[in-house]
Amino acid sequence: MSKSKGKLALIEAKGEGFRAGFAVLAGRPNAGKSTLTNALVGQKVAITSAKPQTTRHTIRGIVHRDTFQLVLVDTPGLHRPRTLLGKRLNDLVADTLSEVDVIGFCLPANEKIGPGDRFIATQLGQVGGNKPVIAIVTKTDTVDRQAVTDQLIAVEKLGREVIGERGFAAVVPVSAVEDFQVNTLATVFAEYLPLSPALYPDGELTDEPEAVMVAELIREAALEGVRDELPHSLAVVVEEIIPREGRSEDNPMLDVRVNLYVERPSQKAIIIGKGGARLREVGTNARKGIEALLGTKIYLDLHVKVAKDWQRDPKQLVKLGF
Ligand SMILES: Nc1nc2c(ncn2[C@@H]2O[C@H](COP(=O)(O)OP(=O)(O)OP(=O)(O)O)[C@@H](O)[C@H]2O)c(=O)[nH]1
């Protein structure tokens, strides 16, 4: 208890003029969102299993600075707009965007603006609720100066066309790989955050060990889309996290072995999906977050097991770490 009090004091100690709030990085697949998130946050993405004011967002990372705290969140519907149609999409996007303070919209410098970019930009303009949208031209290291300039101009134009008169709040070129303008981008984001004390303490965000956060990320991914069918029937246990032998120091890898426990064979089938497709997707989705959390590549080994009535069996509960 005393520990959390200490954290509270730390938060309150932040001076006047401090800004804190939420941002989301939008953009089509491969636009560089994850890489940029990692670059903004630093090596290790700090995540918390305790949800902030909203439970709709997953925290991707937190940028701590002396004068601001930027919490980067994920809005699932934004990145896969094609899977949802019409009004439902608009509602979802409006809903999720209503809770962030500023939106970052990633467009790669090395690809022409396409229908996917235009689609997302239109969504941001129409249902973004007048939230400031910062266009980010990513991967500037992949092209020459002239190409970056041309892309900046094209992006400006796109902003005026689809966001309306106000256009993009800013257009910022960055390279996450070469650490070009990443810090500048953070300060641009900060301008659009409300005056507020820090929302999370510096550094470690929970008292929980990394394994618990890893389990949380997998649980989150495994429940995606099947929450109703598997309300409280899923337990995730991280069996081990061990460094892969024979990897060079600058290219390490961790083996993460995890068991997912469900209560019934039918639930196992739901988690695994047809031909294992769903479990693979769970692995892919969780892996990104875990790699960001641990700051290194991982190999994620997921096993689904049936532990009959584990919720009612004290022995099982102990085994599952409850
Ligand atoms: N050269 C270069 N490559 C980059 C940069 N940022 C991202 N990439 C590469 O672009 C690819 C996509 O980057 P991600 O960060 O995974 O993109 P994303 O938008 O998160 O992709 P999704 O998760 O599919 O939505 C990866 O191969 C990255 O290594 C950059 O600044 N420079």
Q: 75 CB under 6 A from ligand 1?
A: no
State yes or no: pLDDT of 98 exceeds 80. Answer: no
Q: 182 CB under 6 A from ligand 1?
A: no
Whole-number average pLDDT of the chain: 78
pLDDT > 70 in the chain, percent: 73
Residue nearest to atom 5 of ligand 1 (CA): 139
Distance CA 139, CA 158 (A): 19
Separation of CA 45 and ligand 1 centre (Å): 16
Q: Determine the residue type at 13.
A: A
Where residue 15 falls among pLDDT bands split at 50, 70, 90? low
- Give the up-direction half-sphere exposure of residue 195: CA atoms within 13 A in the CB hemisphere: 3
Separation of CA 106 and ligand 1 centre (Å): 10
Where residue 96 falls among pLDDT bands split at 50, 70, 90? low
- State the pTM of this model: 0.62
- DSSP string of 150-211? HHHHHHHHHHHHHT-TT--SEEEE-BTTTTBSHHHHHHHHHHTSPB---SS-SS---SS-HH
pLDDT at residue number 2 = 33
Q: 107 CB under 6 A from ligand 1?
A: no
37 contacts 2 by C-beta, under 8 angstroms:
no
pLDDT at residue number 114 = 92
* Ligand 1 atom closest to the CA of 142, numbered from 1: 1
Separation of CA 108 and ligand 1 centre (Å): 9
E strands in the chain? 19-26, 58-64, 68-74, 102-108, 133-138, 170-173, 235-243, 253-262, 297-306
pLDDT at residue number 318 = 55
pLDDT in tens, 172-189: 999 999 999 999 999 999
- What value does the mean pLDDT take over residues 25-53? 67
Residue nearest to atom 12 of ligand 1 (CA): 30
Which segment of 111-120, 131-140, 146-155 scores lowest on mean pLDDT? 111-120
State yes or no: pLDDT of 219 exceeds 60. Answer: yes
Q: How is residue 301 written in tokens? A: 């080994």
pLDDT at residue number 319 = 56
Where residue 91 falls among pLDDT bands split at 50, 70, 90? low
- What value does the mean pLDDT take over residues 69-93? 58
For the beta carbon of residue 176, count every other beta carbon within 10 angstroms.
Answer: 24
Where residue 84 falls among pLDDT bands split at 50, 70, 90? very low
Domains of the chain are: 2-191 (3.40.50.300), 210-319 (3.30.300.20)
Q: 220 CB under 6 A from ligand 1?
A: no
Please report the sign of the dihedral spanned by the C-alpha atoms of residue 26, residue 184, residue 13, residue 18: negative
Please report the sign of the dihedral spanned by the C-alpha atoms of residue 210, residue 213, residue 222, residue 27: negative
ipTM over 0.90: yes
Look at residues 149, 313, 129, 310 and name the one whose alpha carbon lies nearest to residue 235.
310
State yes or no: pLDDT of 1 exceeds 60. Answer: no
